[in-house]
Amino acid sequence: MRVVVEGVSKIYAGRAGHTAHALDDIDFVVEAEELVAVLGPSGCGKSTLLNLIAGLLPPTTGSIWLDGDLPAARAATAMVFQEFALFPWRTVQANVEFGLEEMRVTADERARRARRYLEMTGLAGFETKYPHELSGGMRQRVGIARALAVEPAVLLMDEPFSALDAQTRQLMQEELLAIWERTRKTIVYVTHNIHEAVYMADRVIVLSRRPGRVLAEIKVELPRPRAEGMLGEPPFVHAVERIWGLIREQAMQALRE
């Protein structure tokens, strides 16, 4: 499923007639089965962009659409949030089944899908646990399994690993890449971490400071599957340096103003 973002701007209306211009004239396409990272300075509208793609917010101008077949009983998009966003009174399996309940999927089918994605995310055996009994990394795995269970055409991820410690974050990156290799899901992945963006993505879309505009689309010239040993290879280093140069220039402009 392709994601097409065409001429999208977002302006928030505030009090006393004040407005906040979050995004300005955004254009890009995410191809089917592509993993694209969106990166930019803090406050540049990355999360707003995900909410627009998810249909949670309307664009002020422009349009966003998904290009491809969407079978019945399949969600167009699903979101994995920065916060774990689990229901503390539900077990792991019940959390994973929540979106399927909203879609009125039968109990047997809910259980089948939940088991499949719990196994895929390494949570088999934890079905009856509650969120407070899990580590941070495991709670985020539940969030990923819940999003995958509705079998969305496009998976949206809003800095999903930023709350994790460095070791767990690296492990979760590896887990997500393994899941992507198995499902070939179209993924739009928001992050503020340049190394993470380059390591995981096929392309990195770099946004300017607010209002967010597309500064560059950088293709990552690394083969798949990715491996940690690639972090020192020239294509990785060159992409990181180019993106850092763009982000640094944005920061310097803000200081000069």
Residues near 85 by beta carbon (within 8 Å), at least 6 away in sequence: 143
Question: Rounded mean pLDDT of 249-255?
Answer: 81
Cβ neighbours, 10 Å, residue 225: 11
Higher pLDDT, 251 or 103: 103
- DSSP strand pairing (154-158 vs 186-190): parallel
Q: Residue 253: its pLDDT value, please? A: 80
Query: For residue 254, is pLDDT > 80?
Result: no
The pLDDT of 158-162, averaged and rounded, is: 92
Mean pLDDT of 140-157: 94
Residue 242: the pLDDT is 96
* Percentage of residues in the chain having pLDDT higher than 70: 98
Helices 166-183 and 136-149: angle between axes, nearest 10 degrees: 20
Determine if the peptide bond prior to 211 is cis (ω within 30°): yes
CA 254 from centre of chain: 27
**Helix%, strand%, coil% for the chain, nearest 5:** 40, 25, 35
Output the pLDDT for position 73.
61
Domains assigned to the chain: 1-70+169-257 (3.40.50.300)
Distances (CA, A) of 203 to 52, 72, 89: 20, 30, 39
- Closest C-alpha to 187, from 230, 139, 141, 148: 148
Q: Quick check: 69 pLDDT over 80?
A: no
Tell me the pLDDT of the chain averaged across its residues: 92
Q: What is the 3-state secondary structure of 44-98? A: CCHHHHHHHHCCCCCCCEEEEEEECCCCCCCCCEEEECCCCCCCCCCCHHHHHHH
Measure Cα distances from 174 to 178, 183, 226 in Å.
6, 14, 9
**Amino acid 72: pLDDT:** 63
Tokens of 156: 């949206």
Mean pLDDT of 189-216: 96
